[in-house]
Structure 1
Amino acid sequence: MDLFEDYIVVAAQSIESEPFVGLSGYSRVFAPGHLTLGFILPLEGYPDGPAPTMKDHAAVTRLADELGFGALWARDVPTYDPQFGDVGQIFDPFTYLGFLAANTKEIALGTGSAVMTLRHPLLLAKQAASIDRLSNGRMLLGVASGDRAVEYPAFGVENDFESRGERFREAFRMFRTATEDDFPVGRFPRFGELSGRVDTIPKPIAGKIPTFVTGRSRQDVEWIATHSDGWFFYNVGLERVGMITQTWGDAVRRTNGEGAFKPFFEGLFLELEEDADFPLTPIPAGIRVGRHGLIDYLDALQKAAVNHVAFNPKPSRRPFTDILHELAEYVLPGFPSLT
C-alpha cells in the first residue's frame, strides 16, 4: 500500500469515528486530546438569588463569540421550584438559542440540558433541527432525564418519575428516528406512533444532531456510549475525573470500535478572583480560583482527557465582561476553540 492509499484509509477511519467533522458547532468544540472553553448561560453572576437580571445579555454573548470562546449552553428549567432555587437564563432554551443564532456568528449553541422526558420528542426534533439550520450547523444538544420530582405532576406524567430512565430511552429513540429518518416508522407507547405518513422537518444539516447525555440520566455507561455522541458530566474534582474519563473511553471503544471518539465534557461553577494567584478552592459543584491556578486546573483536565469545560458564572460577583476579557487574554490562548 503506498502513502496515498494509507492516507485514504486513515481519513476514512477518521470520518467514520467522527461523524460531525466539518459541522461548525461540533468541530469548534470537540477534538481528541484537546480542551476547549465555553459557558453555561446566562453570562452574569447572580450569587444571592434564583434569577439573573439578563441585563445586556445580547452584548455579552456577542462579546464571548467575538473573543473566540467555544460554546454557549442554555439550561432547560421549565418551572421555577423555590426548593431548587435557580431559574437559569429565564428564557425557554430553544427560543433563546434562536435569538442567539442571529446574535452571534461562530460560537456553538447548546442545551445543557433539554429535559427530554418532559418535551415531546417530535417537537424537540423540530426545535433542535430548526436551531441547527438557523445557526448553520452550530447546534449541540445536551439531553437529560430530569431529576426534579415536583415537575412531573405539573406535566401530568407523575407516574413516570420512578421509571424516567425508561421514558428517557423511549424519548431518545423517537427523537433520533424523527431527526434521522424520512417519513419515519416506529411505535413509542409513551409518546405516539409514527406510521410513515408524516415527516418532521427541517432535518439537521449533517443528517443528525450531535446529542449528548447529561450525567447518567438513569442509564448505564454502556448505553450512553452506544447511543449518544458524547457525555456531559458534572464537576467531579481532579481526584476522580481521570477514573471517569478512563471508564468512558473504554466504553466508547468497546461499543463503537477502537478508533472511535466521543467527547467527555464538564460543567462547573466558576468564581474567578481578581488576584491572579488566588489558590484553587473547591466550592459546591465548582471552583474559586485565580487565573494562574485556573490554567493549571484546566491543563490537568486536558491531560485527563476532558474535551470541553462549560463555566457557570452564577457565583461570580465581578462584572462578567471583566471576567471574559481576563479569560480571553490569559487563559483562552492555552485552550483555543477549534477551527
Structure 2
Amino acid sequence: MEKKMLEVVELTRQHCRSTLIALGVAALLAACATPAPTTAPDSSSSTVTKAAAPLPAAPAPVPVVTSAEETALRQLVDLQDRLDRVAGPLLVNNPALCKRNARRLLGFTAKTKYSYSTEFTPAAQKLLQLDERLRVTGVLPGSGADKVGVLRGDILLSVNEKSLPQGPNAERQTAALLAPMVTSRGNVKLTVLRNNRQMVFDVPLTMACAFRVELGNTDAVNAYSDGYRVLVTRGMLAYAKSDQDLAYVLAREMAHNALNHPVRLRSSATIAGVIDNLIRVNPDLGMINGTAGIKPYSQSIDAAADVMALFMTARAGVDIDGASAFWERLANQYPIATTNGYTALHPATTYRLAAIDKATADIHAKQAMQKPLIP
C-alpha cells in the first residue's frame, strides 16, 4: 500500500497545478421480494390451508471490489483536497501581499480521464466520473466561480461562445485558449452541462496569489517554497492535524514566495529540484537527506516570513493565536538534528517565536482599530 501511496502523488503534477479534486461515490443496493403463502381447495371441497412454500434464500451481498489504484486515488483525493481547501482562502484573500505573484483566475480546476497516468485511468473514470470532456473537479472557495454557483461535476462546454476541446490534450489546449481571456477581461461567459441541462454563468475573474500547491511524496515532516510553488509533505500533513495548523504552514511558505526569499537567497533552483523530485512516482529520498543542499534560512529572513504569514493568515480569517504554540511544538518534536526535518532549514526558533508574538499583538491592535492588515 505504501508503494501505491507513493505512486499517486505523481498525479498531482500531471493533472493541473492548483488542483482541487472531487470524489464521486457509487453505492450498490440489492433487494428481493418474498412471496406470500398460498391456499388451495382439496378434492372434497373442504378448504384446507396448505403449508407455506419455503422462502427463497436471500442472495449473497454483492461485494464492492476496490482496486489498489482506486484506494490510492481516494487517498490522494483526500490529501490534495485538504491542501486546496485550506490554501483557497489564503490565495484569494492575499493578492495585496503577494503582488508579484497575483493573477486573475477563473477559480476552478477541471480534468479529463487523461489527466492521470494510464494505470490510474480506470480508477479516475470510476471514482471521479471522468471521460473525454473537461469536468470541474474543484472550485476555489471565495472565487468568482464559487460565488456564481459553478459546482464540482459540471462538464465544461464553452467559454465566451468558444467550444472547449476534448481528449488527451484538452487541458493544455484550454489553458492556451483561456490565457488571453483572463488577461484582458473582468468576466467570462461559461457554459456547462449539469444533469443533462446546459447552464450559463457569467464568472467574474478572481485576483489571487497564483502559487501552485503541491503534495510531497515523503513522510518527512517538511515544507518547501521555490518562489512559485508551495510543497507540503505527506508527513507534514499528518503532523498538522487541524486545518488551522496546516494554514500556518501554507501561509509561511507562501510568505517566503511573496517576499521573494528563494530567489534572493539564490536557492530557488535547488528547492525547485527538491520539489520536482518529491512529486515524482518514486522520488529519490536520498536527495532530501539533511537539508537537501538548501542553506538554512537566517533568523531575519525567517522572522520576516513569519510576520508576513501571520498577516496572510489573519486576512484569510484564520485564528492566529495558536501559531506560536504550533511552531514551538514542531521545533521541540523535530529539532535541528532531525534528518529531513523542518527545523533543520529554519533553526532560529527562539528568534522566530519572539517575532511571531510581536506580530500577533500588532495584528490584534490593527483589528481592534479596524485598520488594514498590512505588515
- TM-score relative to the length of structure 1: 0.30
Q: Pick 1 or 2: higher relative contact order, CA cutoff 8 A, min separation 6.
A: 1
Task: Name which one, 1 or 2, has greater alpha-carbon Rg.
Answer: 2
Greater helix share, 1 or 2?
2
